Homo-oligomer: A and B are copies of this chain.
Amino acid sequence: MLPFSRVAIIGLGLIGSSLARAVRLHMPTVRLVGYDGSAAVRARVDELDLLDDIADTPGAAVIDADLVVLCVPVGQMGAAIEEMRADLPKGAIVSDVGSVKASVAALAGLIPEGVHFIPAHPVAGTEKSGPDAGFAELFHQRWCILTPLPGTDETAIERLAEFWKRLDSKVETMDAQHHDLVLAVTSHLPHLIAYSIVGTASDLEGVTRSEVIKYSAGGFRDFTRIAASDPQMWRDVFLANKDAVLEILQRFTEDLTALQRAIRWGDGDTLFNLFTRTRDIRRTIIDAGQDTAAPDFGRDHR
């Protein structure tokens, strides 16, 4: 028995279109309806034949859904809910895929009585954007974190968890504040650092941009991948998760300053000890199935 039979996806970019493909692959009998604010995206999704129906308004997309998944940037969640709230059927579950959860949970007051609201975050993505970039396997063996508000109906939570498990995701539940701190470490700070270093490197006197490009295989190119992620999505993440990002950034800056001092004073032992510790963490991530063991992420060297 499937957890849902009529799923509406609002926002059809990388994540929304991957979700559509994943539902088609794993639950082919589910009726899939979608909406995107961009007419060009709606037309492209139609060409790609990812959905049973593409609605002209958010309200029309959700009118008979038993699950609605918001796949828009965090800063647009509120407006998306406003646009559809009058058409949400009683008993439906509204969820989302945003990378920040406390700011989404704060929108609970917009949800009509009798509709369940369970913020969620599948920890998966690539640096690409748009409906052509999506693929059905994006969520395979990745974690989806549910952050239900206190008092949420347990059966509704279980149905949403079952939905993600059907897509081959692993499911964890935590409160929204803790989610935002954990993701500040594992996702938001890495993106901020990557954006920052790519900005620094592209704007230096003494080293040309052409040199940065040519010799990027020395390490720099690794940072350019996540620094190519969707600008609007990431702007919204940093604005919505300000407190946790600033807290973790402060910790990072302290640690980097300690390394700077070790280099200035020629303290090789401090450097060597850290560099040995960090090696172990990669091994653990690979053992946990969260990255490839192939050198260079398995890039083709031929």
Q: Tell me which residues across on chain B come within 8 A of A140, comparing CB atoms.
A: 301-302
Q: For the complex, is A155 an interface residue (Cβ under 8 Å from B)?
A: no
The proximity string for A residues 252-296 relative to B, scoring 1 for CB distances below 8 Å and 0 otherwise, is 110110011001101010011011111101111100101110011
By the criterion CB–CB under 8 Å, are B285 and A183 in contact?
Answer: no
Within 8 A of B (CB), among A210-246: 211-229, 231-232, 234-236, 238-239, 242, 245-246
Given contacts A123-B215, A123-B218, A245-B263, contact A196 B256 (CB under 8 A): yes
By the criterion CB–CB under 8 Å, are A222 and B190 in contact?
Answer: yes
| A contacts with B: majority SS | helix
By the criterion CB–CB under 8 Å, are B126 and A218 in contact?
Answer: no
Q: Tell me which residues across on chain B come within 8 A of A198, comparing CB atoms.
A: 278, 281-282
Scoring A99, A191, A199, A281 by chain B CB atoms within 10 A of each residue's CB, the highest score goes to: A281
Q: For the complex, is A156 an interface residue (Cβ under 8 Å from B)?
A: no
By the criterion CB–CB under 8 Å, are B231 and A272 in contact?
Answer: yes
The segment from A60-68, A82-90, A130-138 found at the interface with B is A130-138
Given contacts A99-B218, A187-B219, A301-B138, contact A278 B145 (CB under 8 A): no
Distance (whole angstroms) from the CB of A66 to the closest CB of chain B:
28
- Cα-based distance from A295 to B182 in the complex (angstroms): 24
Name the contact of A255 in the complex, choosing from B185, B190, B199, B297 (C-beta under 8 A).
B199
Identify 15 residue pairs between A and B in the complex whose beta-carbon atoms are under 8 Å apart, listed by A's number.
A124-B217, A140-B301, A143-B215, A145-B215, A181-B206, A182-B212, A185-B201, A186-B220, A196-B256, A216-B291, A222-B223, A228-B282, A246-B263, A291-B299, A292-B299
